[in-house]
Structures are given as structure tokens and as C-alpha cells.
Structure 1
Amino acid sequence: MAVIETDREVGWEKDYAERINPELMNKLLHRAVPVLEWTGWKITRVGPGFCESVLPLVVETTNQHGTHQAALISLSADYTGGMALTTLLTGTPLTGIHRGHPEESASLWLVGMDVKYENPSTSHLRAVSRVDPKTARRIQSRYFSGRVVLATIEVEFWSEDGERVAVAVMRYFAQATQKLLEHRSGGEQSPMTKLNLKTSARIIAGLRAMGGPAASQTTTDAQGRQLRIDGPHNHDRVAAGTHGVLQAKRLQKVLPQLGAMVGARTRQCDQVLRSIDGIEQLVMIGAGLDMRPIRRAADLRGATVFELDLPVMLAERQRVIERLEQQSGAVADAPERHQIAADFLQDDVGELLQKHFAFSETALTLFVYEGCSMYFDEQQNQRLLRSIRRRMKHPQSVLWMDCVTPAVINEGTGDPNIHEFVDRMEMIGERFVYGPADPRAFLRSCGFVCSSDVTAQQFLGSEDPTLGEYRFVTACQDVVDLDSVGPVE
């Protein structure tokens, strides 16, 4: 059993100061779970295996009788008991709460609870959770040896008069996030991995949806059926779902320019697509939930589309497209589409395309590498793009990609909102690791000649410097023989 590497030598004082003191945790939890801030719930004391919190008696937390709403007492129990458990995971960031990469974080959530309400709550309500020493040692032993933790923790609730109001028995699941994200036996991905993969794509779809009108029209088909014809942004709204729109709104609050950035990238890439007269193929590298084949169906008439992504993402994509077809018949005019399952870190993407019966290296093709480059390091990006370049045999074929500046990665933009956004993305498992300092030189190293390099700021004609940290580049093939450049090791 693999041991979880973390700084377990961190003393209580240091861990308290840097990770779990009440002031810090209240700030982090209120940001991550808005209902906690709305109710005024807060942690008042913590210790090893111990947490005390207070749920105020205010209008927002009471029921029709003027006493605490039972569901909010349960909410308090959840986070009080969870915090008591968190104190035992010494030096370990909590996924979704602290900043930290999955390789060093812990995932924790409630899996069951039993609450007994003994008396009406008519004052500020103090919750106390203590993990007994034997259970605490077992939790730490299992977690730091890489095993799953299933812990039962009690939370008691007391009034200001010392009367016990309720007692809750909470059952928690905890595991190192890196272990949780690993494939199960047989190669199956865990539910956590699947959720993280879908979340990022849903957020982008949600941001696209938020950028357009919600109105729709109806028309009648040849059989006399009424069909709802949605605008392009409604395609994205279906793709995002409730979860994607919610997450997009949360991130938009952190980085107000985010919607403009995603909108600019979509429009700029669409402009490149429309500029290619006689396009024969569109290759979407990291297709996600981008509905471009449906949204730009008229520009792709007669073309063939190849959608590359991880299997779980392609399955989600197909589910969304089938739903669009059922709701509005919007897929009927879409071009011929082929899905190709690919792991960009493991597979040779160019080779996968070459082996596909419908792909032609000599066809006029637009390769769209969207929303991916910032998650791979320089060598990983070079390996993928060189592989694509070798399958680009038509002299007028085009590569389009987006990228961030190195300042976004190195926290050198001067805009704290950007850095908080990057932190939030890292919390959902999407860590930014690369932005080329010189996109033209980078593309040249991959066998391309850059033909256009524009920032979101320039594209939108804005004076906001934050938009200048996001770039869109187009390139064509270099005349240099890639074999003379050599492979990326």
C-alpha cells in the first residue's frame, strides 16, 4: 500500500497557523460554501480531533416557530464534524477548500448522518465534536498509509443555558485525492475523476451560455411537428446543464472578465473557421462540450468533423448532442462527425487520426486545440502539436490554439482576481502549468509558422489589461522537415 507523502512532521502550532485556524477556515469555508456565510455559521475553536462552532439564532436560520431550522442544525453538524476530522490530517490541504494540487490534497465528504433533536433551539447554538484518541489514531494510520477512511464522529449541540439541543452521529469518507483519482482495476475511472473532467467542460459551456440571449423560436418541420429552434447560446445552455451554469457564475464572480475571455475565444476561432474557404475537415483536439459543429453547421457543410477527447468526455458529449436532437432537432443539419477517444498524455494523436478511415492528411483542415495548452507542460504540448503537424499535409491547413501568458502561471499579472481564479481551477483538479513566453518561437519548435497572434484585449478592443493575458494564435505548416527537428523526449 502506497504511503501518502505529506509533511507529517509539521507541528500543531504550524498546522494551526497555516491550515486550520478558525479565522482562516471561516474565510475559506464561507467562500466555498456560501450558505455557511449566509447563516452566519462559524468555527470558534479547533484542536487535534476537536472542533467547536456556533450557529446564530437569527431570522435567516429560524423556522416558523422562531427556533433553529432542523436542516441548518444538520448543516452545522456536517461541517463541525468534518472539521474535527480535518484537524487530524496534518499538513494536508482539503480539496475544494485549500489551495493544493490533487497530489497533495485530501478529499472528504459526508456519506451518512443520524440526528436526534431533543429540545427546541432558542439561542445561539454551540456545536462540539471530539474524536476519541483511539479513533483519531486509526484515522491517521489509514489515511497516511493511502487507505480509505470511513469515520463515525459525534457532534453535540448545546444552548446558551447549557441544555443539550441535539446530538448527531456523522459518517465521513476521506481519502487522498490522488488515490481517489486513480483508475480502478480494469481501467475504470472513479466517479470523482469523471466529475472533474465533466466540470471543466460544463463551466466553459456555462460561460458561453451566459454570454448570449435565452430566447428561442419555434418552426414546423415537414411532418407538421413544432420544433424549438434555439440560438447557439441555448446549445451551450443544454451542454452546461444546471451544474455548469452554477459553476460558471461562481467563477465569474472571482474573475469578472472570464465570460469575455471565453466569448472572445469562441468568436475568434469561429472567425478563423469562416475564413477557410472550402474547408474539408475540422479536428477538435479537446472537444469537451463545444457545440461548434452544430453552431457553425452552415460553415461546415460538406466537411467532416473529428472530435478528440477522453472516453468519459466523449460519452458526455454524445449524451448532450442526443438531448439537443430530442429537444429541437438541431443536430439534423450538422456535418458528419466522428469521435476518437484519446489520452493526450499517452496517445499519439496524429497517429490516431491517421488510422481513422475517414481522415485524410491531404484534406484542407482546421485543427482546433482549445482550452488545453495551459494544462500541459511545454514538452507535452510540443509532443502533441508535432504529432498533429505530421498529419497536416495540405499547404493551406490551419492550426488554431489558445494559451495564457507565463504571468498567469507565475502569479505575475498584478491582478489578484486572475490568481484566485487559477486557485479555484486548481481546486477542481484543473491546474494551470504552462504559458509560452513567445508563442511564435514555441510554434516554430513544433513545426509551425505563426500567422496570427492576438490577445483577448486586442480582439475585443478593450483597455482592460487583464484580457491581455489570454492569447489566440493561428499557424500553418513550416517548410522545415519535422524529422530534422527531432522528437520531443
Structure 2
Amino acid sequence: MRKVENGKTTAQIAAFARALGTREPDPKVRNPDYLAERMLPALCQIAFLPMFRGLSRTLYDAGAKGMYCFHQIRTHYVDAIIRSELEQGLEQLVILGAGLDTRAYRFSELLRGRPVFEVDHPGTQRWKLARLGAVKGSHDVRYVAVNFEKDNLEECLKAQGFDGAKRTLFLWEGVCMYLTEEAISATLGFISRAVPGSSVLFDYIYRGMLDGSADYYGAQESLRSARRLGEPYIFGLDEHSAREFLSARGFDIVSDVDVEAVSRQFLTKSDGSQLGKTAAYVRFAHARVRPRS
């Protein structure tokens, strides 16, 4: 897992964008994470005042061009996948690198009777729970401390009651770009042994962004920001290579979409205009555990 203080800072930055997005005047593009602001220090509340919201967004995008809009579409897109999986018989949810994710709370009624496993550093988990306070979430949230580079994910989850025979969605949001390919393959190896019908949903960045062979909107600013936080990106995939990458690890691709496609769905305002431009170096991959022959 990422270093706890830096990981918490990165999670707070993402939560800030989500919280700011809940104030969008147009409900069609408004961020649904109404609990995000609870994750933030009290001083941040100033940024959400009407007189400062425009400046707050401008400053946010100046530090990480296109990331404000990216966090809006990622929240909408992942929420939609979770709802779809629930309609198809999802029995448990595993959030890998949960950070300041609030879905166990926001989706409490939909997740009723289904365990939610939040996997992260215990320090981040303690801080998060203190911020949430009395907010009620899923009746069965289990907090699992794991270092993806060192610990055995399967053993840690099973120790908290994870059932490999239940249809599971593994949500892996904003994590893979910080891990080695070996750690990613080990985690996917575990997920591939879940009951067929289970799936993994994750976002990943393009390898061309890392090796400098291609330039994408917002890429240079994001690279600099990650290095400044002490959490440099180290893993990426070539464009349109997720199917092959996942197939070799026991998965059938459900979808592999770029942010442009998702933006058209979730950044289009009621008047047909766009909320803004999103970082263009990220894709979302959703893959299902292949039936065993």
C-alpha cells in the first residue's frame, strides 16, 4: 500500500474534487458523493462557499489540469457499474485501496445484507472513520489492512470473513498506477480465483504517458503532481491493450472505455454544453472472472 500520509493526502485531494462537484448548479453533472466533504479538514469548507467555488475549481485544475472533471465522471461511472452489478446478483463488494471512498455509506440500503470489505492502510481507515463520525453505512463493513506490495491479500481478506464462493465486485479505483506490475499481477491472480461471474473494475493510465512517447491533455501536470507528493506513477498499459493483459490473467473483458466516452455521458449539462475538459490519459477497465473449463 502507498505510504499512509501521502496516500491520505492523495485521497483528500480526490475527495476535495468530489465535494466541490456536489455544488455544481446543474443536477445532471452534479457529483453524487454527498459525504466527500466529511473527509476534509474544516478549513476546506471555505472553498465551498459560493464566492470561492469558481476560484477553487480554477486553482484545482491549475495544479492538475483536467482532474476536476475526471473525478466527477469517475464517481458517476463507478457508481453506475456497482448498481449494474447489484442488479445482476452481486453478493459482496471488495474495495481495494479504499482511501476515502464513501460507497459503503452512500449505498447502504442497496448493499444491505452484503458484506463490504474496505482494504487499505489502517492509519487511513482510522482517520476516515473519525471523520465520518455517526454516519450510518452498510450493516456489514469490514476493514482489512493490506500492503499490496508485501502482504497476501487473500489471507488478509479471508481472515475478515471473505467468501470466495460469493459473486464479488472488486473495485480498484486510483491504485494501479502506483503499483509494480508484479503486485498488480498477484492481485489479479487472486481475483481470478473468485467464483465465475465475479469482476474487477479499475482505472489505469497510458504507458505512453510514463515513457514520454505520447502526450495527453493534463499528463505533464499530473506527473509533476504525483512526484511532488512522493507517489510517482510507475505502471501503465498501452492503449487498447487491456483485453490482452486481462485475458492472460484469467478474465474476459466487459468494457474498456476512455474518458472521452464517459465524459459525453456524465459531463454534458442540461443545455448540451460540457462541464469542462477531462484528463485524457486514463481508461476504465471492467473484466469478469472467466468460467472454469
Question: Partner letter of residue 41 of structure 2?
Answer: G
| 1:297 matches 2:97 | no
| 1:411 matches 2:222 | no
Bigger RCO of structures 1 and 2 (CA < 8 A, at least 6 apart):
2
Change (3 A) 1:409 1:344: same
Change (3 A) 1:254 1:349: same
CA distance in 2, matches of 1:243, 1:470: 31
Deviations for 1:219-248, whole angstroms, at most 9, x for unmatched residues?
Answer: xxxxxxxxxxxx953410111335778798
Question: Partner letter of residue 109 of structure 2?
Answer: A
Q: Residue 259 of structure 1 corresponds to which residue in structure 2?
A: 68
The alignment of Structure 1 onto Structure 2 pairs a total of residues equal to: 265
What TM-score do the two structures reach when normalised by structure 2? 0.81
Question: Partner letter of residue 82 of structure 2?
Answer: L
Q: Is the 8 A contact 1:208 1:262 kept in 2?
A: yes
5+ residue gaps in structure 2?
A: 26-30, 48-55, 268-273
CA distance in 1, matches of 2:279, 2:62: 16
Change (3 A) 1:341 1:468: same
Q: Is the 8 A contact 1:382 1:445 kept in 2?
A: no
Change (3 A) 1:302 1:441: same
Aligned with 2:8 (options 189, 198, 202): 198
CA distance in 1, matches of 2:57, 2:125: 21
Q: Residue 210 of structure 1 corresponds to which residue in structure 2?
A: 20
SS at match of 2:169: strand
Tell me how large the CA RMSD over aligned residues is: 2.8
Percent of pairs identical after alignment?
Answer: 27
| 1:399 matches 2:200 | yes
CA distance in 2, matches of 1:412, 1:476: 31
Q: Residue 92 of structure 1 corresponds to which residue in structure 2?
A: none
Q: Residue 41 of structure 2 corresponds to which residue in structure 1?
A: 241
5+ residue gaps in structure 1?
A: 1-192, 216-230, 482-489
CA distance in 2, matches of 1:370, 1:335: 23
CA distance in 1, matches of 2:33, 2:74: 14
Of residues 455-464 and 286-295 in structure 1, the stretch that sits farther from structure 2 once superposed is: 455-464
Deviation at 1:194, TM superposition (A): 4.2
Q: Is the 8 A contact 1:457 1:465 kept in 2?
A: no
CA distance in 2, matches of 1:243, 1:370: 26
Q: Is the 8 A contact 2:90 2:167 kept in 1?
A: yes
CA distance in 2, matches of 1:408, 1:251: 21
Question: Partner letter of residue 150 of structure 2?
Answer: Q
Deviations for 1:134-175, whole angstroms, at most 9, x for unmatched residues?
Answer: xxxxxxxxxxxxxxxxxxxxxxxxxxxxxxxxxxxxxxxxxx
Q: Residue 60 of structure 1 corresponds to which residue in structure 2?
A: none
- What does 1:340-355 correspond to in 2, within 5 Å? 340-355=144-159
Deviation at 1:265, TM superposition (A): 1.4
SS at match of 1:299: coil
Deviation at 1:433, TM superposition (A): 1.0
| 1:312 matches 2:123 | yes
Question: Partner letter of residue 363 of structure 1?
Answer: K
- What does 1:11-26 correspond to in 2, within 5 Å? none
What TM-score do the two structures reach when normalised by structure 1? 0.50
Of residues 284-293 and 264-273 in structure 1, the stretch that sits farther from structure 2 once superposed is: 264-273
SS at match of 1:300: coil
Q: Residue 227 of structure 2 corresponds to which residue in structure 1?
A: 426
CA distance in 2, matches of 1:288, 1:381: 18
CA distance in 1, matches of 2:280, 2:151: 33
Q: Residue 137 of structure 1 corresponds to which residue in structure 2?
A: none
CA distance in 2, matches of 1:404, 1:251: 20
Question: Partner letter of residue 268 of structure 1?
Answer: Y
| 1:436 matches 2:241 | no
CA distance in 2, matches of 1:200, 1:368: 18
CA distance in 2, matches of 1:242, 1:431: 28
| 1:475 matches 2:287 | yes
Change (3 A) 1:475 1:417: closer
CA distance in 1, matches of 2:20, 2:209: 24
CA distance in 1, matches of 2:100, 2:159: 24
The structure with more radius of gyration? 1
